A and B are shown apart, each in its own frame.
Chain A
């Protein structure tokens, strides 16, 4: 058990402690109990930075299910360190923020922190696990804890709907990913991601390679809200705002991106991977940014902006995978700039988006609404919040001097580089990449401006607000201030993270590009001179400003058409259709009529038997071994068949009973003819008693009415019955004519006397050789007798049978 293992398991165990404590101690906000844990974990991970920088990583292993090759192995390399720092660092700030946001008198805060700690542990598990099965386990735990957190206010219908939706979509992707993991482990014969990467060259041509890649990406895209699986994220905004800030902007939605980055060494250099990752990313980027402009709810706006930014990071990882194609040549390092940009933007996004969510939470908390149309003119009332919002939004829009500007410039460089490539049909479609990126950036600029100016500028509308707005308490402001200052600091001093975090992370994403002892040299500069990227940014500002102005006047983009055909509606409809369809199908065959079920059973019997007869080459009947028929036997057979065949046409119950009895006596006669005296005796007695029983109840029985049914009813019955009769006849013939092996009965005949001391072999078998059958058969009779007694006696008790 290493410290890394403890770092993963501590939040999970601490959840129980904090929950108990929160339940018992009401005076102290549970958040204060929770807060030290992420601080300690964050400090621990900070202390590992030099180790990772120098050694590249550490690996610890605990056997879990060794027989299935499942080890609880954890790896700390650049990539997992970066994510661990994000998770624990932002976790720490979110816990602090939620102490002021969640009212301990009105909310079940202990429950909130239990879920939050569960999530934190699960997320650390996802990013630190090396074994794919363990990774999957933690992955699903993040889905479950996210589900619990979204539905935290479970009395609201929208919360339950959002939680359900996110659960269905992310678990769907999770299961796909699980299948992909299984395929990978079959190909490489290992569960460890590290060993998988070392074998990536061998498995490249395996037939499962592409299916595994697609399934894995399905998992990543659903979790990271890529188009068209993004629909769960806006609905997840029903969660409390600290949750939105933590899970749905900074950490969980980046799990898919982590997955893509983690498996880049396996799949990079493939055309399918490149186009899927960057294509999905670019689609998501432009779709999210356009949709964000149309939102009126601040959290929905931020949700779509998160979707869009996740698409940006995803596309950068896709573009960066080109370098694996150039592996071994000097060009390779040139294209790793996209990966650098991706990792840098990942950090930047976590900082500014976390801050913006907290700002929105403050606005919501202090005014009682998040609707843009009701807000306005808060600048003078909430100056600190306004400042944070400006920093966050300007960074998101990619304006200098904030960190978003740097990563946006690097993003433009990467897309321009990609457009210059001339393989993988990039020479024809590659031109679109920078165009899409540029247009998306314009819309990003527009919604960032909307976020700030529609909320904090304009006219102050006190009548629309439920509360009198004022500046938030200090504790609530500290976390966003920390994040906003990080935005500024990283903007001016990107070198702070470039050597400590980005370089080791790059080494983890692209290990094959480095030779022994070499390190990536990431140097992010603030000013490149007057190049094309700067022109693009200026264009973004100009066009963004124009669109922002037009938006107020013409309400662009909100056509009725786009509201009618939404993916949400598609999701709702298909879920509904799925429910309705399965209900309808069930209703078709589950009719409640016993007759139908009997028909299914016997139709299956006939069809399966007929199929196997045809399949095995027909039935061979060998008549030679058959016994000859005598006159008496012929008479009995005719009497039996005759009495039975008349039965369906009989309308009188007395005659029906007597005919049935007659067939029983004919069977008795057969037993006599076929040398079975004991059977004949028993059958006669049983038949007599049965007929007597029938006659005894005769008076009480319903009259046999002529069945008022449609002809088809009778026809179906007749066809099925005749088919079953023919099948059974064939079965009997086949079994009687082809003995597969000699009977074991010689043993009974020989040993009956010496071993059991009896001459009646049948009786000896019943009580000596196979006495257990008889014992249990006696029990059956006993149970039947008791049952009948109960049925008759417990008569007054309507309430017992449930009719009372």
Chain B
């Protein structure tokens, strides 16, 4: 399972980065959310998959999965959500104001 997960994470990273390298702002935002997914799955995968029950003690299982990465990912999901939504609104305002979403045109002035 970890092997396939690793491949899936690789694909998420590759496509995410490919989108980030493109010219349109919308693609860049979508790319960042793919990268986020990749990182979350990476955190989960490196801590071993399917080693026991969900970390709820009421289950009375013999073994549980590692709860720590889950806590870390939960924190990360919320933060990335905040950042993505801010970035999204920022991109929207930039487009509204500057009239372009082409990153190659958004280079700033020569002397800046």
Residues of A within 8 A of B (CB): 591-595, 598-599, 602, 623, 625-629, 633-634, 637, 640-641, 644-645, 647-648, 653, 656-657, 660, 663-664, 667, 670-671, 674-679, 682-683, 686, 689-690, 693-694, 697, 700-702, 704-705, 707, 709, 717-718, 720-722, 724-726, 728-733, 735-737, 739, 743-745, 748-749, 752-753, 759-762, 765-766, 770, 773-774, 777, 780-781, 783-785, 787-788, 791-792, 795, 801, 803
A85 CB, min distance to chain B CBs, angstroms: 55
Given A682-B78, A736-B45, A627 and B50 contact (CB-CB distance below 8 Å): yes
Given A627-B49, A765-B68, A803-B97, A641 and B13 contact (CB-CB distance below 8 Å): no
A686 to B81, CA, bound (A): 7
Do A724 and B17 touch (CB < 8 A)?
yes
Considering the complex, give the chain B residue whose CB is closest to the CB of A782. Answer: B82
Given A702-B26, A784-B82, A784-B83, A732 and B71 contact (CB-CB distance below 8 Å): no
Given A627-B1, A647-B19, A593 and B67 contact (CB-CB distance below 8 Å): no
Do A648 and B84 touch (CB < 8 A)?
no
Selected from B33, B37, B67, the residue in CB contact (under 8 A) with A765 is B67
Do A660 and B86 touch (CB < 8 A)?
no
Q: Using Cβ atoms and an 8 Å threshold, which residues of chain B touch A627?
A: 1-2, 48-51
Q: Using Cβ atoms and an 8 Å threshold, which residues of chain A touch B93?
A: 791-792, 795
Considering the complex, give the chain B residue whose CB is closest to the CB of A602. Answer: B17
Selected from A640, A676, A693, the residue in CB contact (under 8 A) with B70 is A676
Q: Using Cβ atoms and an 8 Å threshold, which residues of chain A touch B52?
A: 675
Given A679-B74, A791-B90, A720 and B68 contact (CB-CB distance below 8 Å): no
Given A693-B85, A701-B95, A726-B10, A732 and B34 contact (CB-CB distance below 8 Å): no
A690 to B70, CA, bound (A): 21
Q: Using Cβ atoms and an 8 Å threshold, which residues of chain A touch B38?
A: 728
Given A721-B21, A724-B17, A641 and B1 contact (CB-CB distance below 8 Å): no
Q: Using Cβ atoms and an 8 Å threshold, which residues of chain A touch B3?
A: 623, 626, 733
Do A676 and B44 touch (CB < 8 A)?
yes
Which residues of chain B from 43 to 75 have any CB-CB distance to chain A below 8 Å in the complex?
A: 44-58, 64-68, 70-71, 73-75
Selected from A735, A737, A739, A761, the residue in CB contact (under 8 A) with B56 is A761
Selected from A595, A671, A702, A705, the residue in CB contact (under 8 A) with B21 is A595
Q: Using Cβ atoms and an 8 Å threshold, which residues of chain A touch B66?
A: 743, 745
Additional pairs, 10, CB under 8 Å, beyond known A594-B103, A693-B85: A594-B106, A653-B26, A664-B37, A674-B44, A674-B49, A676-B73, A690-B84, A762-B70, A792-B93, A801-B97
Q: Using Cβ atoms and an 8 Å threshold, which residues of chain A touch B58?
A: 759
Given A628-B1, A736-B6, A647 and B15 contact (CB-CB distance below 8 Å): yes
Chain B positions 68 through 112: 1 when the CB is less than 8 Å from some CB of chain A, otherwise 0: 101101110111011111101110110111000101101110000
A787 CB, min distance to chain B CBs, angstroms: 5
Given A660-B30, A766-B74, A728 and B9 contact (CB-CB distance below 8 Å): yes
Do A729 and B71 touch (CB < 8 A)?
no
Q: Using Cβ atoms and an 8 Å threshold, which residues of chain B touch A690?
A: 33, 81, 84-85
Do A717 and B22 touch (CB < 8 A)?
yes
Do A721 and B14 touch (CB < 8 A)?
yes
Do B49 and A729 touch (CB < 8 A)?
no
Do B79 and A693 touch (CB < 8 A)?
no
Considering the complex, give the chain A residue whose CB is closest to the CB of B20. Answer: A598
Do B10 and A633 touch (CB < 8 A)?
no
Selected from A637, A648, A704, A773, the residue in CB contact (under 8 A) with B8 is A637
A402 CB, min distance to chain B CBs, angstroms: 61
Do B57 and A761 touch (CB < 8 A)?
yes
Considering the complex, give the chain A residue whose CB is closest to the CB of B90. Answer: A791
Q: Using Cβ atoms and an 8 Å threshold, which residues of chain B touch A707?
A: 22-24
A700 to B97, CA, bound (A): 12
Q: Size class of B's contact patch?
A: 35 or more
Q: Using Cβ atoms and an 8 Å threshold, which residues of chain A touch B83?
A: 780, 784
A660 to B16, CA, bound (A): 10
Do A686 and B10 touch (CB < 8 A)?
no
Residues of B within 8 A of A (CB): 1-15, 17-27, 30, 33-34, 37-38, 40-42, 44-58, 64-68, 70-71, 73-75, 77-79, 81-86, 88-90, 92-93, 95-97, 101, 103-104, 106-108
Do B68 and A777 touch (CB < 8 A)?
no
Considering the complex, give the chain A residue whose CB is closest to the CB of B67. Answer: A761
Q: Using Cβ atoms and an 8 Å threshold, which residues of chain B touch A640?
A: 8, 11-12
Q: Using Cβ atoms and an 8 Å threshold, which residues of chain B touch A626?
A: 1-3, 49
Q: Using Cβ atoms and an 8 Å threshold, which residues of chain A touch B86?
A: 784, 787-788, 791
Do B30 and A644 touch (CB < 8 A)?
no
Do B67 and A749 touch (CB < 8 A)?
yes
A371 to B104, CA, bound (A): 59
Do A752 and B92 touch (CB < 8 A)?
no
B49 CB, min distance to chain A CBs, angstroms: 5
Do A753 and B57 touch (CB < 8 A)?
yes
B43 CB, min distance to chain A CBs, angstroms: 10
A718 to B101, CA, bound (A): 21
A780 to B85, CA, bound (A): 12
Pairs A–B under 8 Å by Cβ, sample size 14: A592-B108, A594-B103, A595-B103, A626-B49, A633-B4, A645-B15, A675-B50, A679-B73, A726-B10, A728-B10, A739-B48, A761-B57, A777-B78, A803-B97
Nearest 3 interchain pairs by C-beta? A725-B14, A729-B10, A784-B82
Do A725 and B78 touch (CB < 8 A)?
no
Given A679-B77, A704-B24, A732 and B88 contact (CB-CB distance below 8 Å): no
Selected from A629, A686, A773, the residue in CB contact (under 8 A) with B75 is A773
Do A780 and B55 touch (CB < 8 A)?
no
Q: Using Cβ atoms and an 8 Å threshold, which residues of chain B touch A733?
A: 2-3, 6
Do A701 and B18 touch (CB < 8 A)?
no
Interface core residue of A592, A623, A700 (most chain B CB under 10 Å)? A592
A753 to B2, CA, bound (A): 31
A749 to B70, CA, bound (A): 13
Interface core residue of B48, B74, B95 (most chain A CB under 10 Å)? B74
Considering the complex, give the chain A residue whose CB is closest to the CB of B1. Answer: A627
Do A736 and B12 touch (CB < 8 A)?
no
Considering the complex, give the chain A residue whose CB is closest to the CB of B106. Answer: A594
Considering the complex, give the chain A residue whose CB is closest to the CB of B9. Answer: A732
